Chains A and B, each alone.
Chain A
Amino acid sequence: MDMTHEWYVALSKSFGLFWLLGLSVAITAYAFWPSLGGRFDKAANSILDDEDGPAQPTAGKLEGKVCR
């Protein structure tokens, strides 16, 4: 197979198009998947109060209870 100019043009017009469309659909589906809402909300809020050091193996039940 010759890597000619025409070959690249054909590739970008065929595979390139469907790659772009497929990726857009997949990402939009992921971003707006209803059941992921809780996880995203938790992540968005997680940075607001994160100066209390690395999570401790035993500290799971103390999380969120630290007074500021």
Chain B
Amino acid sequence: MMSNLTSTERARAMLITVAGVLIGLTMAAVGRNDPMGAHGWIVLLFCGVLFFLVAQTLYDAEPVEDRSTSYYDDPTKVGILLALFWAVVAMGMGVWVASQLAWPDLRFDAAWSSFGRIRPVHTSGVIFGFGGNALIATSYHIMQRTSRARMPDQVSPWFVLLGFNLFCVVAASGYLMGITQSKEYAEPEWYADLWLVIVWVVYFILYIRTLARRNEPHIYVANWYYLSFILVVAILHIVNNLAVPASFSGAKSYSAFAGVQDAMVQWWYGHNAVAFFLTTGFLGMLYYFLPKRAGRPIYSYRLSILSFWGIVFFYIWVGSHHLHYTALPQWVQTLGVTFSVMLLVPSWASAGNALMTLNGAWHKVRDDATLRFMMVAAVFYGLSTFEGSFMAIRPVNALSHYTDWTVGHVHSGAMGWVAMITFGSIYALTPMLWRRETMYSWKAVEWHFWLALSGTVIYIFAMWNSGITQGLMWRTYTESGTLRFSFVDTLIAMHPYYIARAFGGLLFFAGACICFWNVVMTIRRVPNHAPEADYPTIPEAMEPAVPAAE
């Protein structure tokens, strides 16, 4: 794979990895009395391994392929495999976290395995490891196809993909060591944050450079969604992580904001992480892979533009609905409610657009589990955005906030929408990317579909029941005006639901394992597809003008 780089590119890649090794060494030396030192060794090892991978091929012959005739898909392939690797690790962690809530002894009394440390490994692992890698990989695929242009160089896509994974590794290992800045979905400390800024800026430039080379007059709408994901996540990440390190030799830092401002900035970030990391990028996937798989153009292209701007413009204001009944000014809370409710319009426009595209192709949905993944994703997108708008209304939020209902809502979006569209896209993409005739086992795709769907349904029903029970128990008073139920009473009431939730998660996790296995077997065992043409063929020369049978 690395021998597809020219010798200049190999040298450039080696220089970057050497710089990484030096940074790692510096961190290890400066931070030797702090967990940051351990991170230094991890960075050193990560970059060292990459250095040797490139160095092995340094004296290989120059690649002979004509770059002007094909897309650059090597990083996409690695990105898909990394996404699936993270899915298995992070969903496995999720099952463990869920099981700890049902059976607390599963902590095994170690510090690193406590709930507060392994939960962020689960959340960051699925959001950034699985979701992020899938987004990067599919964006590489889509930006080149929709632009009919190859990426401008071969080093920066690797830098973005592997640099992002270095961030994920530093984040996950940091949580286990107890490094956190206690901001939801933004737990990694200052040096990891700085590194992500560099990676993200290179990603943005790469995308813009590819679009600048495009041979299509109009930029297909999926690219708009991906670009909003890249651009807004950069803004959110930089602002929310503004912090002053306590020292340059340690991981600890202090936020630039204090009190309710800090809370507001955090939830402005937090909800827009849901919006621009977990929604717009995946809508890009939906707008590309669903029409392609169904063999029909999107139902209304105009509506897709309208809902794009609606989502981008409304979402950015809704974060304050996480802070109802707090010290946040009332009008900011009301602003969050208003925009959350308005958000339903563009969200349902996208979900409806996707489902209307399938009109006339429902027989394909019935027969093809890959397309069914995408259809179910659109349905769950519609359901969870409705639920989200509903929960943002103050009186509903009074019941739902701080309960498991919120957890159920997040998972209805994350499992039902985000993971489903990702798995659907991976099944659509794998045979195309590796030029295989088909997936290794269609039966396994069916199994995965039904495991994922039943796991999601079990999970969210368990959390609805548990959340509403919890909320009602917390607000039940006796005649004398005291609380009717103690905290332990609510815990006992939750126990069966926690078991059901862990079981639902286990089913979903099993599906992800099957997917990983199926993709690996497809790459290893399925025979090559006769080249469908990743290069322009001249019909007269390659094939008879009329197929022989006619």
Contact = CB atoms under 8 A, between A and B. Distances in A.
Nearest to A42: B218
A52 B305 contact: no
A45 B305 CA distance: 15
A50 B313 CA distance: 31
A62 B536 CA distance: 9
A55 B313 contact: no
Contacts of B144: 54
A23 B150 contact: no
A1 interface: no
Interface residues of A, number: 33
18 contacts: A9-B331, A12-B335, A27-B305, A27-B309, A31-B302, A32-B302, A44-B291, A44-B298, A44-B301, A45-B297, A46-B146, A47-B146, A51-B532, A51-B534, A53-B536, A54-B68, A54-B71, A54-B149
A67 to B, nearest CB: 5
A54 B301 contact: no
A43 B302 contact: no
Contacts of B221: 43
A43 B220 contact: yes
A20 B220 CA distance: 25
Contact of A52 (B297, B302, B432, B536): B536
Majority SS at the chain A contact face: helix
Nearest to B545: A67
Contacts of A45: 297
Contacts of B292: 47-48
Contacts of A53: 69-71, 533-536
Interface string A49-68: 01111111001001001111
A30 interface: yes
Contacts of A40: 218, 301-302, 305
B543 A41 contact: no
A46 B69 CA distance: 18
Interface in B152-194: none
A28 interface: yes
Interface of B: 68-71, 144-146, 148-150, 215-218, 220-222, 288, 291-292, 295-298, 301-303, 305-306, 309, 313, 329, 331, 335, 432, 532-539, 542-543, 545
Interface in A1-49: 5, 9, 12, 20, 23, 27-28, 30-32, 39-48
Contacts of B535: 52-53
Contact of B533 (A5, A31, A32, A52): A52
Given A53-B69, A53-B533, A54-B149, A28 B215 contact: no
Contacts of B331: 9
A31 B305 contact: yes
A39 B217 contact: yes
B228 to A, nearest CB: 14
Counting chain B CB atoms within 10 Å of each CB, the highest count among A50, A51, A65 belongs to A50
Given A42-B218, A48-B292, A66-B533, A54 B306 contact: no
B536 A56 contact: yes
A26 B70 CA distance: 38
Contacts of B542: 67
B86 to A, nearest CB: 27
